[in-house]
Amino acid sequence: MAFVGLTDGPCDYWTTFLPGITVFGIGMAVTVAPLTNVVMSSVPTQHAGMASGINNAVSRTASVLAIAIVGSVALHVFAGATEARTANIHLSKEVQIVLQSKANQLGQASILAEVAPENVKAVVMAIKLAFVDTFRVVMLVCTGLAWLSAIMGALLVENRGSVSDRR
């Protein structure tokens, strides 16, 4: 999904985003359910409720942290990409300041009222491309984190045999 560029609209979904989302969904299906199964089967029955609660709390905490961190990275990258993409467009200092102040709106940033008519198309395209740049960086960060977690799991989780072997 990190290599998807600017598309021509919703009709491109089937060939651009759907394959990546399908792979992502399959990856989640083959990791989340087995991980939960391992956590729940690795504790005695009398502690199953506590294990479930801890597993759920850790999962939700990780999600909140990931959204906060990746969200802040996205805002930072979008602001930089917007500045870089509009550097060659002749914009007044005031328009550049307004554009940077609206960077927290990501792809919804709109300052067309402040932009000279001859620069409107260029600014719109710059905002779209900055959003694509941001999406690409976020996907690459998430890919890196997924690989890091796989490596950590391989190095840190010891194989104690199957669950049926321990019973």
pLDDT < 70 positions in the chain: 107, 109-112, 159-167
Element (H, E) at 45: none
Contacts (Cβ under 8 Å, ≥6 apart) of 107: 127, 128, 131
Q: What is the per-residue pLDDT for 118?
A: 84
Helices 48-85, 93-101: crossing angle, 10 deg rounding: 170
pTM: 0.78
Determine phi and psi for 157, rounding to 5 degrees.
-95, 120
- Which pLDDT value is given to residue 160? 63
Element (H, E) at 125: helix 120-156
CA-based nearest residue to 72, from 84, 62, 64: 64
